[in-house]
Amino acid sequence: MDKYTVRLNAFEGPMDLLMHLIEKNKIDIYDIPMAVLTEQYMNYLEEMQEFDIEVASEFIVMAATLLQIKSRMMLPKPPKEKAEEEEEDPRRELVERILEYRRFRRVSVELDGLAALQERVFARKPLPLPVRRLPPEEMSVALLVDAFRIAMEVREEITIPKALVAPDAYSIQGKMEDILVLLDREGGQMPFAAAFPSGTRAELIVSFLALLELIKLHSVVIRQGDLFGDILVCLRTSDH
């Protein structure tokens, strides 16, 4: 097998590199050949060292993880009479992480694709928004992405004639203001899905971008009472 070469320093992190290797080699995520994937991943790290490029610690941690999984896969299987219960696949956790990363990346690509749309939109002058430097709420990004995907799936996409679309219909700033108005009307708290009223797919994505921006500005916070409880969007107050 020829040594695998890639453009150095082209990946944001180890998961980005793994996805590149999986897609390039058309690997089945649910049945990963650990020997092949580990070898190509290690080749990448070796090339970085050959070019005197510092290898980030997260890449090294992933390398150790791959080697550990590969070693476990090579261990002899116990006799059938001793294996009453099906042994857990050593790759399971890695597969779950890869699938989660792929879901997040797909949504990110859709959001990035709105850049061209934003350039063709005329938005009204931004209104001042409250910026409170409070500790950020602990919330999984993957959970927000999944919740947004569900919110999009349960709504029928409505085709709006171009002539009827207001100049700022898809403005992130405008959607930020709309979300704050909704929160004020609902007493400072509303279900996550309420932030995404019916509209085109593009409008829903802009609303999600607006919500992320409000979270970044610490104007709103996302809360969830328990693991499977409802996700709420809450207006931040000085005592939160």
Q: What is the average pLDDT value for the chain, to the nearest integer? A: 74
* Residue range(s) of every CATH 1.10.10.580 domain in the chain: 172-235
**Does 4 score more than 60 pLDDT?**
no
pTM of the model: 0.44
Residues 6+ positions from 221 with CB-CB distance below 8 Å: 137, 215, 233, 234, 236, 240
Which residues are paired to 221 by β-bridges? 234
Contact by Cβ (8 Å): 127, 168: no
User: Could you tell me the strand order of the sheet in which 220-224 lies?
Assistant: 189-191, 231-235, 220-224
How many Å apart are CA 134 and CA 229, to the nearest integer? 24
Whole-angstrom CA distances from 50 to 8, 44, 202 are: 11, 10, 45
How many Å apart are CA 71 and CA 68, to the nearest integer? 5
Residues 6+ positions from 209 with CB-CB distance below 8 Å: 111, 114, 172, 175
The segment with the largest mean pLDDT, out of 7-21, 32-46, 207-221, is 32-46
pLDDT digits (tens, 9 = 90+) for 118-128: 555 555 555 55
* pLDDT of the residue at 134: 37
Mean of pLDDT values over 10-38: 88
**Does 39 score more than 90 pLDDT?**
yes
Mean of pLDDT values over 70-84: 72
* pLDDT of the residue at 168: 44
Count of C-beta atoms within a 10 Å radius of residue 205: 21
Mean of pLDDT values over 69-80: 80
**Does 21 score more than 80 pLDDT?**
yes
* pLDDT of the residue at 10: 64
191 versus 145: the higher-pLDDT residue is 191
Which pLDDT band holds residue 74 (cuts at 50, 70, 90)? confident
Residue type, 88: E
* pLDDT of the residue at 56: 73
**Does 112 score more than 70 pLDDT?**
no
* pLDDT of the residue at 59: 84
pLDDT digits (tens, 9 = 90+) for 126-158: 555 554 443 444 455 556 776 777 666 655 444
CATH top-level class of 172-235: mainly alpha
How many Å apart are CA 79 and CA 235, to the nearest integer? 59
